[in-house]
Amino acid sequence: MVTLADVNPFEMIAFTGSRVLEDNTIVFVGTGLPIIAAMHAQMTHAPNVNLIFEAGSLASILEQGMPLSVGDTRAFRKAVFAKGLCAVFELTQRGYADYAFIGGAQIDMYGNVCSTYEGGDYLKPRVRFPGSGGAGAMAANCEKTIAIMALEKRRFVKKVDFITSIGFGDGSPDYRLKAGVMGSGPYRVITNQALFGFDEKTRRMMLLEYLPGKSPEAIQELVDFELLISPDVREMAIPTEHDLFLLQKKCDTEGFFLKRKVVEQ
């Protein structure tokens, strides 16, 4: 019997990420935990989840192991379609990517994500990050956006410094329409201690699940804006022994992301 003590935070995120993916969908993945989550989903409840890697592949078979990046040659193994960035982003813009799986440094209550800089101002950033990469385009045009974040007050902020990846903006019903983007927007936010969704009416972030042993109040403590709490709020499922086996021995076998051998930003 697996207890919470046996599961590290990254395994919790990857497992939860896997749970939220429905079968028979296309997932546009970012590097790291999203790839692991999607691989786990394919091995368990969603065998017909197919991946887009932004360097240009669709529905590859990851038989050489987990790609270390979205441009890794392994991400093209036995794909059904291998082109370049334009091709897969255009499939996405056209409506053929169900989920975006993105990360970032800050997120606000409307699911807007910053991955451009933190502190200072755009022209004089305190810490400049790599930039949008694919995330801005994925959040705009994949149908549903899933963000993976560490649950910390400095990351779950009232206002993000810079909106790199569009969420619901200020929450107004026509924000995304006026932005000219096509996807329906933020869907889930996954952290090691909580799973969030978004309230349909207000488009505000809502706590759906929390780590066993925690409480909605404890989660609120780690968030700088006021959370909505789902009326059906419940504890998160924890991975079984088999899930952990898959994550550790079939997905990230070298522990690049689950053991954070190399720290990614």
Partner 1 sequence: METGVNSKIVDVTQVSKEVLDKQKLRKQNFEYWGPTPREARKAAVAKKKGLTDKRMPIEQAVNMYVKDGINLGIGGFVNTRVPTAILWNIVKKGAKDLTLSLQSSSICCEWLAGMMIVNPDHVSIKRVELAWWGYEVIGIAPLLRYLAGNQMIEIDDYTNYGMSVRFKAGAMGIPFIPVRDHGGSDMELVNRGAMIQCPFSGDNTYLVPACHPDVGIIHVPMCDMYGNARIFGALCTCPEIAQAAAHTIMSTETIIDNMAIRRYPNLTEIPYPVVDAVCEQQFGSWPGAVYGMYWFDMEHFLYFRSMCDEFRKTGNKDKLKAYYDEYFFGCDTWDDFIAKIVPHKKLIELRKRDGQQPIIIS
Which residues are marked as active site?
54
Q: Min. distance of Cβ 122 from partner 1 in angstroms?
A: 5
Give the separation between CA 96 and CA 153, rounded to whole angstroms: 35
- Tell me if 107 sits within 8 A of 150, measured CB to CB: no
Give the separation between CA 51 and CA 176, rounded to whole angstroms: 25
Q: Min. distance of Cβ 55 from partner 1 in angstroms?
A: 4
Q: Min. distance of Cβ 41 from partner 1 in angstroms?
A: 21
- Candidates 47, 131, 212, 255: give the one binding partner 1 (CB under 8 A): 131
Q: Min. distance of Cβ 138 from partner 1 in angstroms?
A: 8
Binding to partner 1 in span 198-237, by CB under 8 A? none
Nearer to partner 1, 121 or 221 (CB): 121
Question: Which region, judged by CB under 8 A, interacts with partner 1, from 5-13, 127-135, 214-222, 225-233?
Answer: 127-135
Question: Which region, judged by CB under 8 A, interacts with partner 1, from 14-22, 122-130, 198-206, 217-225?
Answer: 122-130
- Closest by CA position to 160, among listed 151, 169, 150, 152: 169
Nearer to partner 1, 147 or 194 (CB): 147
Q: Which residue has the tokens 């927007």?
A: 185
Binding to partner 1 in span 89-118, by CB under 8 A? 89, 92-93, 112, 116-117
Binding to partner 1 in span 135-194, by CB under 8 A? 135-137, 140-141, 159-166, 169-170, 172, 174-182
Kindly provide the b/e burial profile for residues 135-145, where b requires at least 16 CB atoms within 10 angstroms of the residue's own CB.
bbbbbbbbbbb
Assess 49 for contact with partner 1 (CB under 8 A).
Answer: no
Nearer to partner 1, 16 or 132 (CB): 132
How many Cβ atoms from other residues are within 10 Å of residue 41's Cβ?
A: 25
- Candidates 5, 124, 200, 232: give the one binding partner 1 (CB under 8 A): 124
How many Cβ atoms from other residues are within 10 Å of residue 126's Cβ?
A: 10
Distance (Å) of CA 154 to CA 14, 15, 165, 194, 258: 22, 24, 18, 16, 22
Binding-site residue total for partner 1 (CB under 8 A)? 76
- Tell me if 244 sits within 8 A of 258, measured CB to CB: no
As given in the structure block, the two tokens for residue 106 are 């800050």
How many Cβ atoms from other residues are within 10 Å of residue 212's Cβ?
A: 12
How many Cβ atoms from other residues are within 10 Å of residue 216's Cβ?
A: 14
Binding to partner 1 in span 238-257, by CB under 8 A? 256-257
Assess 80 for contact with partner 1 (CB under 8 A).
Answer: no
Nearer to partner 1, 71 or 216 (CB): 71
Nearer to partner 1, 225 or 256 (CB): 256
Tell me the three state secondary structure of residue 140: helix
